Structure 1
Amino acid sequence: MAQTQEIAGAAPDVPRPRSGGWPAVVAVAGATFTVVTAEMLPVGLLTPIGGALRVTEGTAGLTLTVTGLVGAVSAPLLTPALGRFDRRPVLCGLMAVLIAGNLLAAWSPHFAVMVVARILVGIGMGGVWAVAAGLAVRLVPKRSVGAATSLVFSGIAVASVLGVPAGTYIGELADWRTAFVTVAGLGLVVLVALAVLLPKLPAEQEIRLGGVMRLVGDPRVATGLGVVVLLVTGHFAAYTYVRLALEEISGASASAIGTLLLVYGVAGVLGNFASGTGASRSPRGVLLVISLVLATTVGLMPLTGGSLVTATVLLAVWGLAYGGVSVSAQTWLLAAAPEAREAASALFVGVFNGSIALGALVGGLAADGSGIEAVMYLGAALAVGALAVTALGRAPVSGPC
């Protein structure tokens, strides 16, 4: 088909390397975990970052918006630009950019420097995520591709739900600058692991930007991306300001917030693996459940979250549902475009991170303009929209092989 011709170059069939295997898959999962942790890190640190850099919490939330926007643009642009290069040095180089961004963030004397630092994080994050998403199939035998792909994507999901509480704990034990230095150190460990464990990974295809964008014309791809926009925007409109919600609605102390976010994170990890198993059979079914649960829990937070016990339950269910979003949505898109894995992944990363940026932005506007309860209702309404698109849009027949 024409779409495939736009994406594939002269060498679509590159033999899988005989080395790499599960240690390499673990290294790639470590990379996805690190870059998404770096992206999410400010969420649990907005209050101290805002205080130190003398900006409002809504403005401090722009540290997430900037990174998401840059990641959204860099993923579909870097994938074609780096298409001819071996993936091992590409991943190592992108991890180095991420490390530099986190060190600069830790040093930031004022907000402008922090913005530059978060731009670097966005470049590294968007590129690593887009490249890593299609590597599992090249590192393990065919019978293990499904499990390896789930492991790579679990790095994204686990970071989304554990990166924030980890950063919050480090911020409470030391300070927010130490949290950024810690992530930079983790990035260095992962860079070394990638350099040592990955085999040579020459480009499978010559990917053109036009071919990446043409995938949007496929109704199955477009539906999947629409669900991502609504779910992720809604989630991050609310979750970017979850610390503020727990402080104002539930009356949680700083030490209790770290524990509550850890509960959220553990639930999210469980949700990732449970959803990954289900999505391989029916990505639509899993995303319907996720959308319904997110709409309910986020909407109930301002209504029933005044009790710390109730807030803990809602946060745990919220994490359980959101933990499955990335693996389920990625499974949908890989099934919708099996002939263009890396291009579909680049689109997914771009839309996902653009939605993170949009969510942080509209959440910040709502928080500064109407208060934290309005932020929760906004998140719930967008999840209802995702439920409708998932139910009515065109879905792939099944998960990827």
Structure 2
Amino acid sequence: MTTTVLPAAPERTSPARWGAVGVLTLSTFLVVTSEMLPVGVLTPMGEGLGISPGKAGLSLTVTGLVSAVTAPIVPRLLGNLDRRIVLAAAMVLLAAANALTMVASGFGTLMLSRAVLGIGMGTVWGLASAVATRLVAPRHIALAVSFTVSGVAAASVLGVPLGTFVGNGFGWRAAFGALTAVGLVVAAGLVLVLPRLRRPEGPGDDAVSTAPRPLLRPAVVTGLVVVVLLVTAHFAAYTYVRLVLEDRAGLAANAIALLLLLYGVFGMVGNFAAGALAARRPVHTVALLAVGIGVAVTTLAVFGTAALTAGAAIALWGLAYGGLSVGAQLWMTAAAPDRIEHVTGLYVGVFTAAIAAGAFVGGLVVESAGILPLLWSAAALAAAALLAGVLGPGPKSGTVSGTAR
């Protein structure tokens, strides 16, 4: 089969290529905002649909499960399709899912819309980082991945807090309507700005090989175990953070929105700090992030009734979790530099499955035992992730910048 690919990466990355990375960042920003917006509007959303907050939180579970199946499969099905068109089509699907959420009349329609969202999310998130590595010079790979994944943290800084403010002021349906419009704009931007990107070719770009190395290598498996434990811990607690701040700290809706903004600001800092560190020491970086998440959740469990302490814990939580997406992504890139598209799809699939598991487990614990047991359970999972990362085999330090392309 004849393949059409980008020419070999230049030694310098042109402004146009950085602009394309910027559009990919907007894409990850939008998919994560769409996924996580129910966190900020959980209470009014549940009231509007006539369901409990626990059931409303299950909308994240459905999205995560569908995305978990979609992300690993898509790279294997694409063949020589233009990645630019695939990403744009997935973004249109995402916009349609948000429109369906906006007009949902009950639990069933909500679950359907969030399932459709999972298909778009899994496709965009699963391809974005891998595509970014093909747009820049080899020495800029870690920075390009950091920028692309920064859309995840930016969704917390701008997307979820702004969506929460819109939901508070105009109703939660208006927030999902705004996401619909933005999704269509980003889809057009992907078509206009990205170059044609066919099947990757050459070492490090998932080329078709007569004897490809196994994808599930020890370092990859260790990283996936850490991701499962840590992301499950995070989302078990974070999905219900509004309830934590309402019930334990007694905060009002707008105060919670401001704390979510604080969380996101520190998340942006954590994203770029972790990207710089993980490019050289991915294992140590992810272990440090696990410590941060564990300490933050434990602080909320012990001292969360004090508003100031709760705010400090939320800031630390944002700093630590903000670096996890890029830190774990660079772990995977270092562990399988010869199969970047496939390992990224696998990683995103496991990541989003853990999101689903966290939201589901969190809902069960909240409904059956309450907020405090939920926080302690999340802290225990974070500790388990730390042990798995430190004791298991990981990628060699300093391998990301030398990733073959």
> Shared fold by TM > 0.5?
yes
**Mapping 1:70-85, distance limit 5 Å:** 70-85=66-81
Kept in 2, the 8 Å contact 1:33–1:158? The answer is: yes
Kept in 2, the 8 Å contact 1:275–1:328? The answer is: yes
Aligned residues: 390
Distance 1:87 1:16 in 2: 17
Kept in 1, the 8 Å contact 2:330–2:400? The answer is: yes
Tell me whether 1:378 sits opposite 2:377 in the alignment: yes
Percent of aligned pairs sharing the same letter = 46
1:78-124 Cα deviation digits (max 9, x unpaired): 22112320111111110010000000100111111111111111000
Equivalent residue in structure 2 for 1:187, among 168, 183, 207: 183
Distance 2:75 2:191 in 1: 20
Tell me whether 1:157 sits opposite 2:153 in the alignment: yes
1:284-324 Cα deviation digits (max 9, x unpaired): 11111111121111012121011111111111111111100
Tell me whether 1:133 sits opposite 2:129 in the alignment: yes
Distance 1:45 1:105, change over 3 A: same
- Relative to the length of structure 1, the TM-score reads 0.93
Residue 331 (structure 1) aligns with: 330
Residue 68 (structure 1) aligns with: 64
- For 1:215, give the aligned amino acid: L
Q: Which runs of 5+ in 2 are unaligned?
A: none
Distance 2:97 2:352 in 1: 17
**Mapping 1:20-39, distance limit 5 Å:** 20-39=16-35
Residue 277 (structure 2) aligns with: 278
Distance 1:40 1:207, change over 3 A: farther
SS where residue 396 of structure 2 aligns? coil
Residue 106 (structure 1) aligns with: 102
Distance 1:36 1:86 in 2: 23
- For 2:231, give the aligned amino acid: V
**Mapping 1:228-247, distance limit 5 Å:** 228-247=227-246
Residue 390 (structure 2) aligns with: 391
Distance 1:57 1:389, change over 3 A: same
**Mapping 1:178-217, distance limit 5 Å:** 178-204=174-200, 214-216=214-216
Residue 225 (structure 2) aligns with: 226
SS where residue 130 of structure 2 aligns? coil
Task: Give the superposition deviation at 1:182.
Answer: 1.1
Distance 1:393 1:300 in 2: 28
Distance 1:17 1:143 in 2: 10
Distance 1:275 1:40, change over 3 A: same
1:139-189 Cα deviation digits (max 9, x unpaired): 123333332222111112322554322221111121111111111111112
Residue 86 (structure 1) aligns with: 82
- For 1:288, give the aligned amino acid: A
Distance 2:319 2:178 in 1: 26
Q: Which runs of 5+ in 1 are unaligned?
A: 1-8
- For 1:192, give the aligned amino acid: A
Residue 168 (structure 2) aligns with: 172
Task: Give the superposition deviation at 1:354.
Answer: 0.1
Kept in 2, the 8 Å contact 1:158–1:323? The answer is: no
Cα RMSD for the two superposed structures: 2.0
Residue 116 (structure 1) aligns with: 112
Distance 2:5 2:107 in 1: 47
Structure 1 window deviating more from structure 2 (163-172 vs 198-207): it is 198-207
SS where residue 247 of structure 1 aligns? helix
Kept in 1, the 8 Å contact 2:157–2:262? The answer is: no
Residue 15 (structure 1) aligns with: 7
Tell me whether 1:292 sits opposite 2:291 in the alignment: yes
Residue 265 (structure 1) aligns with: 264
- For 1:397, give the aligned amino acid: K
Distance 1:186 1:141 in 2: 30
Task: Give the superposition deviation at 1:212.
Answer: 10
Kept in 2, the 8 Å contact 1:249–1:302? The answer is: no
- For 2:343, give the aligned amino acid: A
SS where residue 61 of structure 1 aligns? helix
Residue 319 (structure 1) aligns with: 318
Distance 1:224 1:158 in 2: 24
Distance 2:375 2:159 in 1: 21
Structure 1 window deviating more from structure 2 (285-294 vs 198-207): it is 198-207
Task: Give the superposition deviation at 1:14.
Answer: 5.5
Distance 2:285 2:297 in 1: 18
Kept in 2, the 8 Å contact 1:212–1:343? The answer is: no
Distance 1:293 1:256 in 2: 23
Distance 1:207 1:124 in 2: 25
Residue 400 (structure 2) aligns with: 400
Residue 302 (structure 2) aligns with: 303
1:245-285 Cα deviation digits (max 9, x unpaired): 00000000111111111111111111111111111111111
Structure 1 window deviating more from structure 2 (71-80 vs 242-251): it is 71-80
Kept in 1, the 8 Å contact 2:300–2:310? The answer is: yes
Kept in 2, the 8 Å contact 1:154–1:273? The answer is: yes
